[in-house]
Structure 1
Amino acid sequence: MDTNTAFLASPKENIDHRSLDAEACVALAQATSADIARLEAIRFRAIAQLARHRDGASSVVQEVAFALSVMDSHAGALVSTAKALTTRLPRTLDLMDRGLLAGAGAMKVAAATAWLSDDNARTADAVLEDRLVGRNTTQIRRAANYAATTIDREGASRRAERNRAGRRLRLRHGDTGVASIEVEDGPVEKVTAAYARIDREARALKAGGETRTLDQLRADVALDLLLGGQGGSRERSEVFLYMDLTTYLGLNEDPAELAGHGHIPAPLAREIATGANTVLRRIITDPLSGQVLDLGRERYRPTAGLDEFVRVRDRECRRPGCHRVAQACDLDHSVPWHFGGHTDVADLAAFCRRDHRLKDEPGWTYTLDPDGTLTITTPTGQSYDSKPPPLHEPRPATSPDDEPPSF
């Protein structure tokens, strides 16, 4: 047995990959992918069993998100796929057990057949059994959609109507300094017409001697139109940029933070902060912890001031892993009002509407410590901590006069 085939009979962790030729490397990658698929099948079964233990409670999604350190949207897809594989799609799950289908492909099948009845889903599962192996996720999605549509043609028509009714706008934060706005499930005729208009205006600008690329022009035209530009009236919108005064003055290059997005480089932060119509607000921080102590302003209504202080302090939804900006969140008591909670900064925290509701689910416990640390305990007894990040790195104790305020 030569080196290039011996590895198949050996534990993969003991293989010296440097001794393999190109063909053996491909074979090793394939064999490892098969093992991963089998392990993913085990994970799906565990998630499905958790859902059964909890009688299908909606908060199972949040618990999976915590436990696996994934976004809620992905956790929701994992839970729904786990339920489908263990009830309606046994042949698809069997392909995973045999190492022939990865978890990503199984999730495409589950999503494409989610709207079918149990009987129709099992029929689609049987039809797809011989059409999934060796296909990439796009091919799997198309095959599964076709199978589902042909099995229930009337249902497919109703689904198209529901899909169009479920249109929404989504904000996606990307790498440093960039984000995306996406119209999800918009009517195809309107989306196509909107793109044609954007493309037409971008090409007109390009013909006029613009140095920006067509892709850049399309993006800029779309944003200008959304903000009321291109001859329309502009609406002002607030974004919250957290940066140290010394960074603002160019005395250091510490990253700043854009609420809901994350950290951005100091030069970009200064560019944003010095833009037209920018308003600076003074925030007093504790030099030892970097936490917000006060907002610098002359007067305000107490209720409005408390609301704004908590939102500025928290920056985002306080549930770990949720990045909805605090200005779009609810303020809620960590200790419910009817159990003795107080409406003050020591008891209030920002939660998005979904996580606000999660807090009231049976078995979920929220505790807010004096230092601002929020501890969330799930129904299975797992605990997760959340604390507003400091506006700057904690510094050695200094006199108040030596501590510059943050903006």
Structure 2
Amino acid sequence: MGIGGGVGVVLASIDASVAALDSLNREDSFLAAGAHGGAGVDIGAGTDVLQRRYGIRLERLELMARLEAQLAAVKAATAAEAVEFQQAMTPPDASVQDRTYADMSVVEEIAGVLTISSAAAGALVKQSRRICSLPPVMNALSAGAMSWQHARIVADETEGLTPEGAASLVAHFFDPAAPQPARGAAPGELVPSRFRAKVRGWRERHHPESIEKRHAKGVADRRMEYTPDKDGMAWISLYLPGDTACAIWNRTTATARGLQGPDEPRPLTQLRPDIAASLLLGVGMKPAAGETAAHAEEDGPGPGVQGTQGVTGIGKVPAPRADVLVMVPVFSLLGVTDEPAVLDGFGPIPASMARKLVADGAESFYRVLVDPRDGAPLEIGRKNYRLTETIKRWIRMRDAKCTFRGCANRTPDNETDHLTAWQHGGTTNVSNLAQLCPKHHRLKHHSQWTPDPATKNEPPGWTSPTGRHYNAEYQDPEPTHWPPGILSAQRSPLEQVVLQRLAT
């Protein structure tokens, strides 16, 4: 791999980071003692001093994060080198069994040195070797531009790809000179969960095996798992098709929101499992009109619990539906291509699943047709024509989540907010609107966190009270695929064809 020399470069960078930390500590000590004969600083008159000492703490955290990444790079390179040396010591004519045990031995050695389990050491070795085989990823980690968590995500998401596929994925996110590089925040500027979502979205679209085939395999593997835990608790997990899981989550969340009020002491985190347990165990279920209890018990409600007219044991209110957007490339909806659609709050789904959701008339799923030329929405399905609802759904489609940096709160909890307040001249259009969760909505109005302007296709970035700028975190959609033989299309005729097809 040729990584030995790279370790020396990283160690030099670590020395520079440590020196910068030492410089900050000396400055902080000087400010704490005062500039005149060691006298203390008067708090009332020392606002600037306090501000600078606050800034030093933030700079320390930045340097520490960089150091952690750089140390992780050295650790990964060293683990990969240890395996290389072990393999070099193995005789060329050694049997497969001898080589297998040699590899096992080095993993056990690493586990003992780091005081971790054999499984954890094996995962570290596997991830380290993959990261070292992807120079742009290793370089970003060595420079402290992203964390070990980010590097590990790339290692996980490139598993199963061909070398060419892995190189294309890495180039998209780490090479600004790539044909279609990722836009917006750099990998290290995204919280790991958001970075994984972007990487996985790109991987799903470019995987050599179609998402339809992989989804069919996943459906065959669906299951429920039960895991006992401490303190008399346990976990129940469901591995389901994405549309079903998304509908369950949003239905449970919407029901929990409807139950919250002055007389409900349980927070949202407690209400969700209570509601799910009540529904699964049949507590308070009331059969639909004209349906006997025996018949309801025999057939059961459908995936969306559509047969249930009310829930009496969990709050005595009807469970509201949760609206979910389905972004469908127009040719995919027509069946001309099998390009993945995007399910709001989940990610890429097979085209067949999107077509089924639209064809079945699922009431809580709103289709959004995507123009194949620029990815802009052609038409947003709706049950009414109020402009406010259309704009809200547009913002939901564009933002996908709360736009505040690092927040992963999805659409059921979010509010559409004016970036520039109405009373300050702000207008009600997509370039001045963005999703914010309740917490960050309040923070925006009670602090100096400032959003950038938005655009038709891009949510806002943010600037912190200390002047640090954070680029927008958005989905970075690609132009949709054109079927063979179609070179161009005019918007109006295309819309007419689509709408005529949908009406039949």
TM-score by length of 1: 0.47
